[in-house]
Structure 1
Amino acid sequence: MLTTAFTETFGVRHPIVQGGMQWVGRAELVAAVANAGALGMITALTQPTPEDLAKEIARTRELTDQPFGVNLTILPAITPPPYEEYRQVIIDSGIKIVETAGSSPAPHLPDFHAAGVKVLHKCTSVRHAVKAQDLGVDGISIDGFECAGHPGEDDIPGLVLIAAAAEQITIPMIASGGFGDGRGLVAALALGADGINMGTRFMCTEESPIHHTIKEAIVAAKETDTELIFRPLRNTARVASNTVSREVVEILSRGGQFEDVRELVAGARGRLVYENGDPEAGIWSVGTVQGIIHDIPTAGELVERIVADAESLISERLAGLIGGRATQTVNA
């Protein structure tokens, strides 16, 4: 078993997190990840109301007695969701781990900490990670340029970003973006992280609540099969490469504005991708890690494989490099 500052602080057996994913972080997947000894995250805003979130938390508890958390992504909007109400549901439901993302977690920290909730905050830069640490969060999830969704605007890949963050972060830190196997876990630990966060890899598991055709599309895709949309708007997002995302890139590259692509990027269309299995129906998030995803295991099989491969790499191949002959690397 791999014991790190993250597993000890957040009370899970393995240093692996299933990050919050819109439309994906639901009870079945979260419970399966938790039962495997990793940390699953319900995505709060996938649930249309705070009351629905309370029901989803209760449904997850029917499927696992292991720790799990809730992702609360805080983004600017003309009509923002009732974040305070979602926060209160999390507290009232007895959740003890929250992943925050998007805007600063500062407005939510006093209430969470007063209720004994540990906060893991996702950042895309060292400066934001340091600021979150100074605010008093309990852990950092540092998100490299390889990730699905919003990688920030600095374009720093994980190999540099994780190491740079490790020089300044003293609380538990999880590495996000581009992780999908035991090799990645070992690399993250070597760079100074205390574990890994995976989104796309957990999308491609049996319990993931998305259409099997989309899982097959991820397995078939290469690491180059993504697009960066909204770059000219300074709100970059990495999504699957399809006719819709390529059209969005083309329109914006010609000087178009958000209003010109609003219908193309509507969240309702992306949700239909996951529900109906048509990868061309809309915009949907996926990371470059899809290039090393080759199967659709159960969440439990995936976690067990990653931990076993990481332990083997550390104890056999890497140890063998010191004063002896290197052994053959394990299959990832």
Structure 2
Amino acid sequence: MVRTRFCEVFGVEHPIVQGGMQWVGRAELVSAVADAGALGFLTALTQPSPEDLAKEIGRCRELTDKPFGVNLTIMPTINPPPYAEYRDVIVESGIPVVETAGFNPAEHLPAFRAGGVKVLHKCTSVRHAVKAQELGVDGISIDGFECAGHPGEDDVPGLVLIPAAAELISIPMIASGGFADARGLVAALALGADGINMGTRFLATEEAPVHDNVKRRLVASTERDTELIFRSLRNTARVAHNAVSAEVVAILDRGGDFSAVRDLVAGARGRAVFETGDLDEGIWSAGVVQGLIHDIPTVGELIRRIVDEAGQLIRERLAPTVGRTTAPTRAAGA
């Protein structure tokens, strides 16, 4: 058993989080994560309206009696979704924890506090993590450059980002980006985190509500099979390598602007990949961690494996090295 202060603060058995994933964070997956003792997040904006989110929360509660949360990703756009209405559904539904991401969550924090909702804020830099802590969030999820989706523009990998953040963060902190197994959990704890967040690894599970072709592609792929798109637009995103993502990179490298790739990166096309299994229909998020994914287990099997093997690693590989001394080497000719 591996327990940390994250487990105590957020009321879960294991320090493992299934973060919000667009089109993927649905009741089937989230309830399985909750039943396995980890913290899963429904993705609010996967639902077409706040009313639909309320229904999905109800559907998840029919599938599990364990606690789960909702992800609310706030992005500055010309025609933003009704964030306040989604927020109010989260509060009124009695959800215990929300994962905020994207833009500064400050305007929503008073309502979450009043509703007794704990806030886990996802950041891609130390400075943003410190700012979120100052705002009064309950926990931080720090996202290294290895992650799927938007890794920010600093290009700092987890091996440096996690301990750098740990030096300044006093509230529970989850490490995100590049985690798939017990080795990652133990490493994250050693670096100063209180647990791990996984997205791509949960995508390759039996309960993930995506086409089997997507899951099989993750198993077959290596750590090199991703693309970084939108680099020239300062809105970097890491996605799976396919014909569409390669075309987007080529167009932008030639000096094209967003209008030149708008149709290629449309969200409806990415959603179609998950629904139809046509892997070249659109862009879809995947992290470099796909190089560590070799099977498609149930969520319960995956979490038990991580927790059991983490304990085994600590006991059998790390603990025996503590206090070990090396006999001094005799000098030549002595």
Report what 2:70 is aligned to. Answer: 70
Cα distance in 1 for partners of 2:324, 2:30 equals 42
Cα distance in 2 for partners of 1:156, 1:48 equals 34
Identity of aligned residues (%): 75
Counterpart of 1:314 in structure 2: which amino acid?
I
Report what 1:227 is aligned to. Answer: 227
Counterpart of 2:107 in structure 1: which amino acid?
P
Report what 1:241 is aligned to. Answer: 241
Deviation at 1:315, TM superposition (A): 1.2
Count of residue pairs the alignment pairs up: 325
Report what 2:181 is aligned to. Answer: 181
Deviation at 1:324, TM superposition (A): 5.1
Where do residues 1-332 of structure 1 align in structure 2 (5 Å cutoff)? 1-323=1-323
Deviation at 1:322, TM superposition (A): 2.1
Deviations 1:301-320 (A, max 9, x none): 00000000111101111011
- In angstroms, what is the RMSD of aligned CA positions? 0.8
Counterpart of 2:38 in structure 1: which amino acid?
A
Counterpart of 1:220 in structure 2: which amino acid?
A
Cα distance in 2 for partners of 1:322, 1:83 equals 50
Cα distance in 2 for partners of 1:223, 1:35 equals 30
Deviation at 1:35, TM superposition (A): 0.1
Deviations 1:276-305 (A, max 9, x none): 001111000000000000000000000000
Deviations 1:26-62 (A, max 9, x none): 0000000000000010000000000000000000000
Deviations 1:3-26 (A, max 9, x none): 111000000000000000000000
Deviations 1:181-205 (A, max 9, x none): 0000000000000000000000000
Cα distance in 2 for partners of 1:278, 1:146 equals 25
SS at match of 2:101: strand
Deviations 1:62-99 (A, max 9, x none): 00010100000000111100000000000111101000
Deviations 1:150-178 (A, max 9, x none): 00000000000000000000000000000
Deviations 1:237-296 (A, max 9, x none): 000011100110011111110000000000000000000001111000000000000000
Counterpart of 1:258 in structure 2: which amino acid?
F
Report what 1:329 is aligned to. Answer: none
Cα distance in 2 for partners of 1:324, 1:58 equals 54
Cα distance in 1 for partners of 2:204, 2:258 equals 31
What's the TM-score once normalised by structure 1's chain length? 0.97
SS at match of 1:285: coil
Counterpart of 1:92 in structure 2: which amino acid?
E
Where does structure 2 lack aligned partners over 5 or more consecutive residues? 326-334
Larger radius of gyration: 2
Q: Which runs of 4+ in 1 moved over 6 A?
A: none
Counterpart of 2:313 in structure 1: which amino acid?
L
What's the TM-score once normalised by structure 2's chain length? 0.97
Deviation at 1:323, TM superposition (A): 3.9
SS at match of 1:107: helix
Counterpart of 2:239 in structure 1: which amino acid?
V
Cα distance in 2 for partners of 1:182, 1:192 equals 16
Counterpart of 1:97 in structure 2: which amino acid?
V
